[in-house]
Amino acid sequence: MHVRQPSTLTWNILSFLLIIVLALLPPVGEIHKQVILLAIVLAQLFEASLLASLPRLGAPLSVSIKITLSMLLLFHTGEVGINSSYYPIFYLPVITAAISFGPIASLLWTTLCSVAYCSLLVPALKEYSLTPDAISRLALRVVFFFFAAVLVNRFAVDNRRQVRRYQELSETLEETNRQLHRAEAEKRRSERLAALGQLSAGLAHEIRNPLGVIKGSAEMLSQKLAAAQPLAAELAGYISSEVNRLNDLVARILDFARPRHLRLQMGNIVEVIERALESVGAQYPNAEVQIERRYAPSVPQIHLDEQLCERIFANLILNAFQAMEGRGTLQISVTPGRSGTRQSGDVTGVHVVIEDSGPGIPAEIREQVFNPFFTSKKEGVGLGLSIVSKMVDDHQGWIRLESEPGRGARFRVFLPLSPDA
């Protein structure tokens, strides 16, 4: 059964009503009493704002204010302040301290409240003598201050511990929920890729045979018509060149669709990345790209297919160069770490982050960049990142994109120490 907790407004209204009752009790005509009670109401009402604006000093300041107001109230409501019937007002700072602080600090503040209350005895001793009965009553009141502090602090500490536990549980559930959504998205993507791969493989095989016939026919026409009909020979050459382009596309489709048999061996991922950087750098010899390497000092060797992994990082680096149009900053970091997103549980591996300073990727297409045949470039067929994703999946790792428009794109790749781990 769910128990609805009273709101802060409800507690403030109840506190205000109680203060009104105190104001109506004798001495009614004491203006100082009414002003002090009003100040106590205001301190109670604005306590939450004080704590929010001053996280460290708010609680000590609130307790100090209440101690001061309590002393003033007792001083103005009794012939001798120590004998005022309003002495229970000191429970207000005692309870506030017990709620706001830990056990030790709560006892220290309660001691300060007791000292402040007993200090009202000093002016009374000038006119009255302290009898054993008066000492007993005073000690009893002070003991009850500590009793209230201990009791309230115990429940406050338990409540804070429970709230902290619920917050940690809520954060754990949120992270688990995010991982579940990512796993579902990766599963849907894998299913789409598998279906598209089968379809693409079938189409590619069917297309490749007629393309071979077309190319052979075009080359024969070009040879036979080269002297007699140069225009026809030129057109036949166009046919041949376009067939070559289609053949290249078919090869890439087959590369995407073909099941891979990894040639795993222990390797250094940093060396693989460096080879990928050299490969892309050779394609852009005049590029003004600053490479920032952030390699952890102790990156473990992992089981990988070096050829495929070099293609993975070469594609990602090439995309970064193209996004920056050959000018900018490319950050590459490699760190050992763990990933708990796979069904097998927490897995040890290596995290690789490739981040460029390009224009970034719009949010509306971020979920589609790994889909086959999706591209935002004027030239290209949109298979690069889908092939990269498939090769990472073959290593039983994962790849994610993080990007903010105008702040570049960041690709995170995780590869386990062993794909069979």
pLDDT digits (tens, 9 = 90+) for 71-94: 888 888 876 667 788 888 899 999
Write the pLDDT tens digit of every residue in 321-370. Answer: 988 887 889 999 999 988 755 444 578 899 999 999 888 887 777 777 77
- 114 vs 8: which has the higher pLDDT: 114
Q: Is residue 164 one of the residues assigned to a domain?
A: no
Inside any domain, residue 348 = yes
* Other Cβ atoms closer than 10 A to 92: 20
Quick one: DSSP state of residue 81? G
Decide if pLDDT at 245 tops 70. yes
Residues 362 and 306 in one domain: yes
Could you tell me if 111 and 221 lie in one domain? no
310 and 396 assigned to the same domain: yes
Whether 143 maps to a domain, the answer reads no
DSSP 8-state secondary structure symbol assigned to residue 300: P
Tens-digit pLDDT profile for residues 121-148: 888 777 777 788 888 988 999 999 999 9
Contact 330, 289 (CB under 8 A): yes
Establish if 136 belongs to a structural domain: no
Report, in angstroms and rounded to the nearest whole number, the Rg of the chain calculated over CA atoms. Answer: 38
Q: Specify the CATH number for the domain of residue 406.
A: 3.30.565.10
* Mean pLDDT estimate for the chain: 81
Domain hosting residue 231, numbered range: 182-257
Let me know: does 408 contact 357? Beta carbons within 8 Å: yes
Assess if residue 171 is contained within a domain.
no
Residues 303, 407, single domain; the answer is yes
Q: Residue 257's pLDDT is what?
A: 58
Place of tokens 């997103």: 341
CA distance 419 to 421: 6
Structure tokens given for 218: 């075009």
| Residues 248 and 361 occupy one common structural domain | no
| 16 and 41 together in one domain | yes
Per-residue pLDDT tens for 44-66? Answer: 888 888 888 888 898 999 999 99
Whether omega for the bond prior to residue 27 falls within 30 degrees of 0, making it cis, is yes
Average pLDDT of the residues in 147-157: 92
The pLDDT of residue 26 is 72
Strand ranges across the sheet with 345-356:
288-295, 327-342, 345-356, 409-416, 398-403
The predicted structure's pLDDT at residue 198: 66
pLDDT for 288-313, tens place per residue?
Answer: 889 999 999 888 899 998 988 998 99
Whether 36 and 20 share a structural domain: yes
Question: Are 227 and 275 part of one and the same domain?
Answer: no
Do 316 and 410 lie in one domain? The reply is yes
Residues 13, 87, single domain; the answer is: yes
Domain-terminating residue out of 213, 228, 257: 257
* 242 and 288 co-located in one domain: no
Same structural domain for residues 291 and 342? yes
- % of the chain with per-residue pLDDT over 90: 24
Number of structural domains in the chain: 3
163 lies in a domain?
Answer: no
